[in-house]
């Protein structure tokens, strides 16, 4: 695994009964990936939020409308190639290693991804989600702290 300056913090994440060692991205990689993720996700979130109004917020219908809009947004903005590109941005060989059946951690490779997630593409999505949590979990908390509350 690539050492990034003095930052070698590694979080263990279990996905599909396999232990992954996930290291934080370096700051510039994290920003680059965040920018690419927001380019795809912002229109989806925008379509979801854009359909809500004051009466929806007070009713259970907001949930069903939101789910429908998310699905429509995914359909409109995310094709298979885009989804693979996003996952490859997150599930990076130089930041993840894997321990299979308690063995010595090995640098993640496409062959290991295929071995671990054969027949389980949802597992790759779950791993990508764990990478997002490791890299961006505190992002909005820090952002709020820096800029303060926008309450009037």
pLDDT at position 23: 95
Contacts of 78 (CB under 8 A, 6+ apart): 40, 44, 86
Is the model more confident about 107 or about 55?
A: 107
pLDDT at position 79: 83
What number is the average pLDDT over the span 87-111?
A: 93
Q: Which of 3-7, 9-13, 22-26 has the lowest mean pLDDT?
A: 3-7
139 pLDDT band, cuts 50/70/90, is: confident
Please give the Cα distance from 132 to 119 (Å, whole number): 23
pLDDT per residue over 20-49, tens digit each? 999 999 999 999 999 998 888 777 666 655
Termini Cα distance of the chain: 47
């Amino acid at each position: 695994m690539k050492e990034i300056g003095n930052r070698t913090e590694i979080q263990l994440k279990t996905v599909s009964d396999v232990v992954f060692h996930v290291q934080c991205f370096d700051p510039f990689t994290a920003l680059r990936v965040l920018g690419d993720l927001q380019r795809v996700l912002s229109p989806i979130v925008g379509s979801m939020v854009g359909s809500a109004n004051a009466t929806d917020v007070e009713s259970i219908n907001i949930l069903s409308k939101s789910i429908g809009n998310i699905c429509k947004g995914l359909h409109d903005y995310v094709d298979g190639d885009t989804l693979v590109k996003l996952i490859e941005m997150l599930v990076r060989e130089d930041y993840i290693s894997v321990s299979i059946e308690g063995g010595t951690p090995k640098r993640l490779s496409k062959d290991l991804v295929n071995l671990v997630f054969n027949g389980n593409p949802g597992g790759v999505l779950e791993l990508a989600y764990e990478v997002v949590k490791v890299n961006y979990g505190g992002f909005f908390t820090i952002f709020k702290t820096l800029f303060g509350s926008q309450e009037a």
